[in-house]
Amino acid sequence: MSGNFIILTSMKLTVAGLAKILKGKFVGEGDTPLKNLSKIEDAKPGDITFISNPKYLVWLYKTDASVVIVNKDLKYDHEKIKNLILVDDAYLSFNLLLNKFSQSKLSHKGIHQTSSIHKSTQLAKNVSIGQFSVVGQNCIIGQNVIIMDNVSIQDNVSIGDNCVIYSGVRIYDSAVIGSDCILHSNCVIGSDGFGFAPNEKGEYIKTPQIGNVKIGDKVEIGSNSSIDRATLGSTVIGNGVKIDNLVQIAHNVTIGKNTVIAGQCGIAGSTKVGENCQIGGQVGIIGHLVIGNNVRINGQAGVFSNIKDNSIIKGTPAINERTFNRSYVYFRNLEKIVGDINDLKKLNDNNN
């Protein structure tokens, strides 16, 4: 977050009030007024900030912020501190604070006159649809959904309550999107999977993709990410999944609940990823694999085989993280090792 982020100019917030919101304990002057959220190194009087990374501890005594949110077990010099809020998890508390007050940035604006909504589509209460957005036939749009400008929603799409669809999103026909989802600009839901079959002349003939995409509740999909529709059946994104920008999810893939996928990843067709997995940036996973639950895949790994539950893997081809790290020590010294082996061979040849 760069610079300050204004919370609510009309809201009167104090250190004591913020501590109550965060279910924490304040140290210092509880009636100090607060206005903004800020990075600790940029903070000014009136700002709220936090520390969760130890490398920023030096700023605890240098910041001009009016209050700092910290872990309650943090060791600090009581004589040098102004105002603190002590919580179980400072990072989580600040994240909850961002979520709570950033909602004020998104307000219901009604349905713009330049939008096009088919008469067969059902809109629930408090739906907002921006300029030049199009909603096709027989769609169902839930309560409090915000559809921003230039969004295209094809026929027979279902969107649950409290979703935010940012500008430029494309949702193809028959997609099902749960409640409390966020789709960022220019992501594509339900484009054709990559399916072609060669004929006797070696020409590639397109395989029709007649399935759909099903997205659970509380899913967030980053900008310019693409989730392909299934050839048959559904491509499934489970509840609570978080997908970064520039991610490709191929046809018939299944992603288990609460899995997070960082930017520039690609998951090929029909692979099943388990629950609570963490997939680092630029990971590539080939098709028709089974990735277990609670798996952690380090960035830039290439996954070519099934992965068991609770594994931590890295490298290409991806292997157990500890095995990779041990092997890498030898790899870095490979030239010396080869030289030593050649010297031993020469010594052995001379002795013979």
What was the pLDDT predicted at 2?
A: 35
- Check: CB of residue 29 under 8 Å from CB of residue 81: no
Q: Where are the beta strands (DSSP E) in 40-186?
A: 47-50, 67-71, 84-87, 116-117, 122-123, 128-129, 134-135, 140-141, 146-147, 152-153, 158-159, 164-165, 170-171, 176-177, 182-183
| pLDDT, tens digit (0-9, with 9 covering 90-100), for 287-299 | 999 999 999 999 9
Read off φ and ψ for residue 341, nearest 5 degrees: -65, -45
**Cα(126)–Cα(140) distance, integer angstroms:** 13
What was the pLDDT predicted at 104?
A: 56
Read off φ and ψ for residue 134, nearest 5 degrees: -125, 130
- Name the CATH superfamily housing domain 4-105: MurE/MurF, N-terminal domain (3.40.1390.10)
What was the pLDDT predicted at 335?
A: 84
Which tokens go with 307?
Answer: 């992965």
- The predicted model scores a pTM of 0.80
| pLDDT, tens digit (0-9, with 9 covering 90-100), for 43-102 | 999 999 999 887 788 888 889 999 999 998 888 776 777 799 999 999 999 888 887 766
- Check: CB of residue 341 under 8 Å from CB of residue 325: no
| pLDDT, tens digit (0-9, with 9 covering 90-100), for 87-140 | 999 999 988 888 776 665 666 679 999 999 999 999 999 999 999 999 999 999
Q: Which CATH architecture has domain 169-317?
A: 3 Solenoid (2.160)
266 pLDDT band (50/70/90 cuts)? very high
Is the pLDDT at 142 greater than 50, yes or no? yes
The closest of 148, 153, 105, 145 to 125, measured between CA atoms, is 145
- Check: CB of residue 94 under 8 Å from CB of residue 53: no
Q: Which residues belong to the active site?
A: 251
**Cα(195)–Cα(2) distance, integer angstroms:** 43
Amino acid letter, residue 288 = H
What was the pLDDT predicted at 331?
A: 76
Read off φ and ψ for residue 83, nearest 5 degrees: -120, 130
